[in-house]
Amino acid sequence: MLNKIYLHIGMNKTGSTSIQNYLASNFEYLKNKGFLYPRTGRAKHAHFGLSTALGFHNQKEQPDENQLQALKEKLLSEVHDFEGSLIFSSENFIKNKTLNYVEQFFRDYDVYIIIYLRRHDLWWESSYSQALKMVNNPPWDEGIENYINFSKNRGIGNYRSIVDRWAKVFGSEKIIVKPFEQSNFPNGLVNDFVKSIGFVPDKTVSEPVLLNSSLSYRALQFLEILQRLDVSAKEKNNLVNFVSKNKAMSSKDSLLSIEQRTEIYKDNIEDYEYIAKKYLNRKSGVLFNDLNFEKYECNHDHQKVITRSEICEIFLDYIKNC
């Protein structure tokens, strides 16, 4: 009988870090219960080494087949005589890359794909914030609307395309789609995930406390400017870390208006209905139940541009803390 594999592919910004932290921190406990979170291909808590080796990166180079063979041999050595299920997790698997290498690498296993999907307006906000922390010299024009348009033109965030691509290789019956809504997680996200793989823990699963906080609109404007300055990558990284950890710059500011959220939802509703019917067997075609856009009403003035004095203030605070 083939080992069953649960391959968690994201999406990014849907609590993947919480899931990965739990799986890595409870390695021995899970292994004794018949669920192995292999160390092979792991970088810290996620399988970024594996996803990179399989071609899910930002470079054009094809995977090194010798490297893949060595990785596979290492995995076979680790899972030798293990008769339970294997779990792999990397949100980089959502990148639009060929799945041929993934199919070949896992051809001796019974593979299930797990993906959490978040309502697009909420996902775009979180993704935009993360991009401003990571992308040097952003290729999009300033502002979240320009970021969204730039990303969509590159095929980013197309849920239907992502899910169908994996279903074409592994079968639609092997795709486990999970709408990312708090109402679906009465006992927490991690509990929902372990339930999805058929694991019932005999001890309470405590949700890890994440240190990542939402940045204020002012902080995001500062990062838009910072990432476009002619400053060393190291200095930029230090400033990004300073802003990200500065509680005074943390806030749950809404970046989109109710009208923008409604428009984004309408743009994606056909795909939502398709996914709900095909992968969740929901005849209603409802993928997301929380459509209360009013509670995310903007609580800041989008027309207010960060001032030079505010920018100087942030730089001065940074220098004082160096």
* 42 assigned to some structural domain: yes
At residue 164, the pLDDT reads: 98
Residue 9 sits in the same domain as residue 77: yes
Give the predicted TM-score (pTM) of the model: 0.93
Please, is 73 exposed, middle or buried when counting C-beta atoms within 10 Å of its C-beta (0-12, 13-18, 19+)? Answer: exposed
Q: How many domains does the chain have?
A: 2
Residue 21 sits in the same domain as residue 162: yes
Find, among 29, 40, 50, 105, the residue nearest to 79 by Cα.
40
* 91 assigned to some structural domain: yes
Residue 167 sits in the same domain as residue 271: no
Residue 79 sits in the same domain as residue 186: yes
246-267: average pLDDT: 87
Beta pairing partners, 110:
4
- Sheet strands (E) in 107-258: 110-117, 175-179
Is the pLDDT reported for residue 247 higher than 80?
A: no
* 243 assigned to some structural domain: yes
Residue 103 sits in the same domain as residue 227: no
Residue 171 sits in the same domain as residue 252: no
* 149 assigned to some structural domain: no
Residue 29 sits in the same domain as residue 176: yes
Residue 175 sits in the same domain as residue 76: yes
How many whole angstroms separate alpha carbon 256 and alpha carbon 124? 10
Copy the structure tokens of residue 94. Answer: 């959502």
CATH code where residue 170 lies: 3.40.50.300
Beta pairing partners, 175:
113
Residue 28 sits in the same domain as residue 103: yes
Mean pLDDT of the chain: 91
* Per-residue pLDDT band at 211 (split at 50, 70, 90): very low
For 244, the domain range is 217-321
Q: What is the pLDDT of residues 27-76, one digit of tens each?
A: 999 999 999 999 999 998 999 999 999 999 988 788 999 999 999 999 99
Residue 264 sits in the same domain as residue 172: no
178-183: average pLDDT: 95
* 204 assigned to some structural domain: no
